[in-house]
Amino acid sequence: MKTIRDDFPILSVLENGKPLIYLDNAATTSKPLAVLNAVEAYYRMDNANPHRGVYELGARATKAHEDSRKIVGNFLNASSDEIIFTQNATESLNLIAYSHGMEFLKEGDEIVLSVAEHHSNLVPWQRVSKLTGAKLVYLYPDDLGHLTEEELDKKITSKTKLVAVAQVSNVLGIEIPVDSIVRRARSAGAVVVLDCAQSVPHMTVDVKALDVDFAVFSGHKLYAPMGIGVLYGKKELLEKMPPFLTGGDMIGSVHEQSSTYAEVPRRFEAGTRNVGGEVGLAAAINYLNLLGWENIKNHEKELMTQALEGLADIPHITIYGDPSPDKRHGVISFNVDEVHPHDTASLLDSDGITVRAGHHCAQPLMDYLKINSCARVSFGIYNTKEDVDIFLNSLKNVRGLMGYGS
Q: How far, CA to CA in Å, does 57 sit from each of 50, 51, 67, 328?
A: 9, 11, 15, 46
Residue/partner pairs of 135-138 with CB below 8 Å, 24 or more apart: 135/108, 135/109, 135/110, 135/111, 135/159, 136/110, 136/111, 137/110, 137/111, 137/112, 137/113, 138/112, 138/113, 138/114, 138/364
CB 114 within 8 A of CB 147: yes
Per-residue H/E/C for 304-335: HHHHHHHHHCCCCEEEECCCCHHHECCEEEEE
d(CA 288, CA 201): 9
Q: How far, CA to CA in Å, does 209 sit from each of 153, 199, 204, 219, 236?
A: 22, 15, 11, 22, 17
In the chain, the amino acid numbered 403 is G
Instruction: Give the active site residue among 136, 361, 392, 402.
Output: 361
- Would strands 135-139 and 110-114 be described as parallel, antiparallel, or unpaired? parallel
- Count Cβ atoms below 10 Å from residue 271 Cβ, excluding itself: 12
Active-site annotation holds for 374: no
In the chain, the amino acid numbered 8 is F
- On the 0-12 / 13-18 / 19+ scale of CB atoms within 10 A, 396 is middle
- Count Cβ atoms below 10 Å from residue 286 Cβ, excluding itself: 14
φ, ψ (nearest 5 deg) of residue 84: -115, 130
Which residues are part of the catalytic machinery?
Answer: 361
